[in-house]
Chain A
C-alpha cells in the first residue's frame, strides 16, 4: 500500500540554525499538509498546500516557516531560525482530494538544542 515517507526520522539542530524536513507524499495525491505534535500534546495543524501554493495556514505557521514542492515528488518544510520551542514531532500528510482522509507519515522528531 502506498505510504507517505518522511526524512530524516530524527533531526538534532542547534538553536538559530535552519532546518529542512522532507516528505514524499503518496504519488497521486494533490493536497499536502504539515502538522506538529509537541511531546504529550495534541496534533496541531501548520499548513496545507495545493496546486503549488499554500491554501491555508495556522497561527503557528509564522514567517520563520515555509513550504515548498521543489519537484514532482518532494514536499518540504523549512524552519529558518529554529527556537527551542520548535522541538516536536513534525508530521507530513497527503490526501487525494480536499475532503478525502489524510494519510500520515511516521514523522520527523526535531530536537533543538
Chain B
C-alpha cells in the first residue's frame, strides 16, 4: 500500500514554463517535507510544512500543505534547467518515527 502518491510521475517541460507537482494521501500527517534528489546523491531537504493551509515560498518554488494535512503541492515558476531532478514528498504521521516517502516526480527541464 502506497501511503503518499505523487503525480505526475514524470514531467518534461521547456525552460521558462510553470509546473505543479502533487502529493496526495488519505492519511493525515503532522508534517510534510519536500526533498530534491540528484542521481547518486541523497535527498536534499527543500522545505517542511506543518500547519494545514500553510504556504511557503523558496525563490521560484511555492509549497502548500492542504487544509486537512493530507496533501501538498509544489509549484515551480519559470522553471530552469537547474531544477531538473527527482522531487520527493515525505510525511510524518502523528504517531511513530517513520517518514513515508512519496513515489517521486522526475522533472526534466529542457533548455
A63 is an interface residue with CB less than 8 A from chain B: no
Q: How many residues of B contact A (CB 8 A)?
A: 24
Q: Is A75 an interface residue (CB 8 A)?
A: no
The answer to whether B33 and A43 touch across the interface, beta carbons within 8 angstroms, is no
> In the complex, what's the smallest C-beta–C-beta distance from A53 to chain B, in angstroms?
12
Task: Tell me the bound Cα distance from A34 to B44 in angstroms.
Answer: 15
**How many of chain A's residues have a CB under 8 angstroms from any CB in B?**
26
Tell me whether B42 and A44 are in contact (CB under 8 A).
no
Known A-B contacts A106-B41, A106-B42; the reply to A48 vs B98 at CB < 8 A is yes
* CB <8 Å contact, A103 and B45: yes
CB distance from A24 to the nearest CB of B (A): 14
Min distance, Cβ B23 to any Cβ of chain A, angstroms: 12
Give the distance to chain B from A109, nearest Cβ to Cβ, in Å.
8
Known: A102-B45, A104-B43. A43 touches B101 (CB 8 A): yes
Q: Is A25 located at the chain interface by the 8 A CB criterion?
A: no
A55 and B97 in contact, given A102-B33, A102-B45, A103-B45 (Cβ under 8 angstroms): yes
**Complex Cα–Cα for A66 and B27 (A):** 29
- Report the separation of the CA atoms of residues A105 and B45 in the bound assembly, to the nearest whole angstrom: 11
Q: Is the CB of A33 within 8 A of B99?
A: yes
Q: Are B99 and A91 in contact (CB under 8 A)?
A: no
**A43 close to B88 (CB less than 8 A):** yes
Contact residues, A3-29 vs B (CB, 8 A): 4
Residues A86-113 near B (CB distance < 8 A): 91, 93, 98-107, 109
| Residues of A that sit less than 8 Å from B by CB | 4, 31, 33, 35, 42-45, 48, 50, 55-56, 58, 91, 93, 98-107, 109
4 more A-B residue pairs beyond the given contacts A42-B104, A58-B98, with a C-beta to C-beta distance below 8 A: A31-B97, A99-B92, A104-B44, A107-B41
